Amino acid sequence: MTQMPAHPLLYVQDLVKTFGSGSRAHTAVDRVSFALAEGEVLGLVGESGSGKSTTLRCLMGLETPDAGDLDYDRIDLRKPSRTQRRRFRREVQLVFQDPYSSLDPRMTVGQILAEPLVVSGACPARERRDRVVETLELVDLGAEHLGRHPRDFSGGQRQRIAIARALVVRPRVLVCDEPVSALDVSVQAQVLNLLKDMQSRLGLSVLFVAHDLAVVRYLCDRVVVLRDGRVVETGTREEIYTRPREEYTRTLLEAVPRLDPAGERARRAVRLARAASQGAAQPVA
Amino acid sequence: MTASPPRLVREPQAPPAKSRPHLPWVAPGTVGDGIARGARTLLGRHAGVLDVVGLVLVVLLLLAAVVGPWIAPHDPYRADPTSSLLPPGREHLLGTDDAGRDVLSRLLVGARSTLLAAVGVVVASTFVGAVVAAVAASAPRWLDEAIMRVVDIFLAFPSIVLALGIAAALGPSLTSVVVAMVVAMWPATARLVRAVMRQTTSSQYVEAARLTGMSQRRLMSRHVLPNSFDSVYVQLGLDISGAIVLIAGLAFLGVGAAPPSADWGSMVAQGREYVTTAWWVALFPGLAITLAAVGFALLGDTLRVRLDPTVVRA
């Protein structure tokens, strides 16, 4: 495979997950491997159905993989001990795609942020409130929001609350499952900037799952391209975006809409020419 | 999601309405007005006429159940052949039945047993249904399927037929009616709670909570159950309403409380023979059953609107 970081923090090797059985079996994830280094932002890209969400769910322990290795900082995630599982649960946090459904509608913001602290015991009860307020301020919300419910907030604000919930236990790794795809385009940039800012300020490692290549380009150091449950290509951002080696990656990049009509016309001409030549080649083959 | 459903949010110029009575036909300063104001305080600013009507009916029923025996103008059990089948008048506000017993007194005394039986049935059947649902929802798939198919079998029988059969087998008494109705009513609750819990358990906020590594018990008590029980509370009101009708129906068919006792359903049954000559004997118990059922149904609806946490209230 391509270059693996020297000391990966998170490490996935030949992960396989099949749903259903017999003739209806569908292999959602087929021998996927990648590694996340400390302090790195890794993008996991693919169309819907490419297996990126299933990979993530296996990693977080929400699905049981059929085969393969999952490692986090020398913890074997397929059979961790109690204390290891606790450490993993605390140090690796997930931000969900849809902030409208990932926050308990009955809880106040204060309760939502305090709960991970209570459960993990990450900070003593006396300091809990300070930690919650501090984290809330980190995501540009103030202590005055503590007593409000999720329904009182906009989508972008909710996603910031969700990010705060993930950050409140001071994790080492942030796993983001399409964190902006459910948001309006106008607030996407806001949330992405926040994530980028958090990453550099807190020295987080980030695994970022998305189908939007523009978003990934903005955030990620390295990119893994998935298709039909397999890794198509792995490379640094420059490699993937300037000289992709695989045809599929190129197709994906071409599908990104651009505000460049002249360039788009040129690319379209090339595409048409290529299609025409393939069409001509078909009968012969 | 700051946009609010227009139905629930009134314009901010509500204050002048504050001094106006809630029910347009109730004059200010009267007892009716006082009750309407009290109800409004209890229900919040956005209560509609139906919310108030429901609450008032239920409160009146509760009042009758608690103090009925003391405020009853006559002894509900004393038969007096000389005053048999008297029409509603000064002495007997709602008339007397064939044995000369005061209908109003019997209604007031009967309120307690009707309400206790209905509430008892609903609480017991909801409890049984919720427990079965919780077991099914957290059981392996095959067991879940098995439990729910049994529930389906129960649901396939009309509840009145099922209750009638069981009550008849147990002998005519209020206890056997209650037992029979719990057996007849739990499957509906089980089905409801199971469906809601499935939905709640697979929601992202429960998944998020699970990812913090919290215990199954905390997950259930802090996230799954509180978010699953709204529909149960709402159902409680409707269930009590249905139970009142069903209890009366069973009594009417003769499997309820034994004859001399003041039971609304059996009062209708007794009055049936005199419908053409003494309409009041059957009409007033029937009216009591209807109003009680309507009251609880409306209250259930009020709760539904007030308990939904996703509804933005101004």
Report whether CATH 3.30.1330.10 matches the domain A8-254. no
Query: Cβ separation of A101 and B205 shorter than 8 Å?
Result: yes
Cα–chain-centroid distance for residue B79? Answer: 32
pLDDT-based confidence at residue B27 (cuts at 50, 70, 90): low
Per-residue tokens: B60? 């009146």
> Which of B207, B212, B310 minimises the CB distance to A119?
B212
A contacts of B222 (beta carbons < 8 Å): 115
pTM of the shown model:
0.69
B contacts of A96 (beta carbons < 8 Å): 204, 207-208
pLDDT computed for residue A113 by the predictor: 92
Q: What residues does each domain of chain B span?
A: 83-307
B24 lies within 8 A of chain A by CB = no
pLDDT computed for residue B231 by the predictor: 75
CA-based nearest residue in chain A for residue B210: A62
Q: Is A94 helix (H, G, I), strand (E, B) or coil?
A: strand
Per-residue tokens: A26? 């569908």
| Beta-carbon contacts of residue B78 (< 8 Å; ≥ 6 apart) | B101
pLDDT computed for residue A171 by the predictor: 93
A106 lies within 8 A of chain B by CB = yes
Q: Give the distance from residue B205's alpha carbon to the nearest chain A alpha carbon, in angstroms.
A: 4
Which of the two residues, A155 and B30, has the higher pLDDT score? A155
Q: What is the ipTM of this complex?
A: 0.78
Query: Cβ separation of B212 and A149 shorter than 8 Å?
Result: no
B177-198 average pLDDT score: 88
Query: Cβ separation of B213 and A62 shorter than 8 Å?
Result: no
From the number of C-beta atoms within 10 Å of its C-beta (0-12, 13-18, 19+), residue B135 rates as middle
pLDDT-based confidence at residue B309 (cuts at 50, 70, 90): low
Residue B36 has pLDDT above 50, yes or no: yes
Q: Report the relative pairing of strands A92-95 and A173-177 from DSSP bridges.
A: parallel
A82 lies within 8 A of chain B by CB = no
Highest mean pLDDT among A130-139, B47-56, B63-72: A130-139
A159 lies within 8 A of chain B by CB = no
A101 lies within 8 A of chain B by CB = yes
Spell A188-213 as b/e; 16+ CB within 10 A means b: bebbbebbeebbeeeebbbbbbbbeb
CA distance B293 to B173: 22
End-to-end CA distance of chain B: 14
A contacts of B208 (beta carbons < 8 Å): 94, 96, 102-103, 162, 165
A62 lies within 8 A of chain B by CB = yes
pLDDT computed for residue A14 by the predictor: 92
Query: Cβ separation of A96 and B204 shorter than 8 Å?
Result: yes
B139-167 average pLDDT score: 87
Spell A253-264 as b/e; 16+ CB within 10 A means b: beeeeeeeeeee
Query: Cβ separation of B213 and A165 shorter than 8 Å?
Result: no
- Specify the CATH architecture of the domain B83-307: Orthogonal Bundle (1.10)
Percent of chain B with pLDDT over 70: 82
B196-206 average pLDDT score: 86
B213 lies within 8 A of chain A by CB = yes
pLDDT computed for residue A160 by the predictor: 92
B2 lies within 8 A of chain A by CB = yes
Query: Cβ separation of B204 and A106 shorter than 8 Å?
Result: no
Query: Cβ separation of B208 and A96 shorter than 8 Å?
Result: yes
Q: Among candidates B193, B179, B166, B312, which has minimal Cα distance to B253?
A: B166
Query: Cβ separation of B204 and A115 shorter than 8 Å?
Result: no
B202 lies within 8 A of chain A by CB = no
A151 lies within 8 A of chain B by CB = yes
A contacts of B214 (beta carbons < 8 Å): 115, 119
B184-200 average pLDDT score: 87
Can you give the pLDDT of all 285 residues of chain A as single tens digits? 445 555 789 989 999 999 888 888 888 898 999 999 998 999 999 888 888 889 999 999 888 899 999 999 888 988 889 899 989 999 999 999 888 889 998 899 999 999 999 888 878 888 899 999 999 998 888 889 998 989 889 988 999 999 999 999 999 999 999 888 888 888 888 889 999 999 999 999 999 998 888 888 888 999 999 998 899 889 888 888 888 888 888 888 877 766 666 777 777 777 777 777 766 555 443
pLDDT computed for residue B229 by the predictor: 78
> Which of B204, B206, B209 minimises the CB distance to A98?
B204
Which of the two residues, B273 and A112, has the higher pLDDT score? A112
Q: Which DSSP category does B26 fall into?
A: S
Which of the two residues, B215 and B121, has the higher pLDDT score? B121
B108-118 average pLDDT score: 87
Q: Say how many C-beta atoms besides its own lie within 10 A of residue A96's C-beta.
A: 24
pLDDT digits (tens, 9 = 90+) for B251-271: 888 777 766 777 888 888 888
B209 lies within 8 A of chain A by CB = yes
Three-state helix/strand/coil letters over A199-263: HHHHCCEEEEEECCHHHHHHHCCEEEEEECCEEEEEEEHHHHHHCCCCHHHHHHHHCCCCCCHHH
B contacts of A75 (beta carbons < 8 Å): none
pLDDT digits (tens, 9 = 90+) for B274-304: 888 888 888 888 899 999 999 998 888 887 7
B140 lies within 8 A of chain A by CB = no
